Amino acid sequence: MGLRAILLRQAVAMLDGVGILLANGATHAANLQMRALFEASVYMDWILLNDSERKADYYYVHNLRRKRIWALRTQAGSPESQEFITMMNKAGVQNR
């Protein structure tokens, strides 16, 4: 239940953000919040469809792995760091 509650809280925060941004005329900035809200709703639908505990675990592990890759990218000399630098150089962003 914990992960589903966290996703719901994030969805409510994104909805609140959309309302604030639109009230202030920031329609383009609201698109980012709406995208995050949509993604959270898709994840919640997927988790709640069936076998919720297993799918919540999958979602949690996926996020841990994603964070681990980003952490490895910050370690100079790691394969992930070299791959990231190569990708950024191809995109035209030079490493300082």
Q: What is the pLDDT of residues 3-13, one digit of tens each?
A: 668 888 989 99
Say whether pLDDT at 95 is over 70: no
Q: Check if the beta carbon of residue 80 is closer than 8 Å to that of residue 69.
A: yes
What does the block give as tokens for 80?
A: 């992930």
| pLDDT at 1 > cutoff 70 | no
Which residue from 96, 95, 81, 4 is spatially nearest to 47, judged by alpha carbons?
4
| Distances in whole angstroms, Cα of residue 59 to Cα of each of 23, 31, 34, 37, 42 | 33, 24, 20, 16, 12
Backbone angles phi, psi at 93, to 5 degrees: -100, 115
> How many whole angstroms separate alpha carbon 21 and alpha carbon 51?
36
Dihedral through CA 54, CA 57, CA 61, CA 64, nearest 10?
170
- Its pTM stands at 0.65
Closest CA to 43 of 84, 91, 3: 3
pLDDT at residue 67 tops 60: yes
